[in-house]
Amino acid sequence: MDHDGYWFRYLAARHDIALKIGLVFLGVVLISVITGKTLVKGQGIVSKTEDPKTFWGTVISLLVGAAVLIGLYAFGPS
């Protein structure tokens, strides 16, 4: 990997941003699971009992996003 490239320097300079955004996503996931409601783009607030497929799809996508961002922080350039 080219260690003097633009993207390497860009990610290295913003290394902690991935952790912060990942933790926010993880917090949203925890709040959504505890309350049973989440915010979905274009639909507003969706309840786990009324539309479980949309609810769990949104929660899982946020959880995967959090895992990717925290993984970028843990294994990315420091």
Collapsing DSSP states into helix, strand and coil, what is residue 71?
A: helix
Q: Maximum Cα–Cα distance for the chain, whole Å?
A: 52
Q: What pTM was estimated for this model as a whole?
A: 0.79
What does the pLDDT look like over 21-60, one tens digit per residue?
999 999 999 999 999 999 998 889 999 999 999 999 999 9
The H-assigned helical ranges of the chain are 6-13, 15-35, 52-75
Distance CA 71, CA 19 (A): 8
Domain ranges of the chain: 16-75
Confidence at residue 77, expressed as pLDDT on a 0 to 100 scale: 67
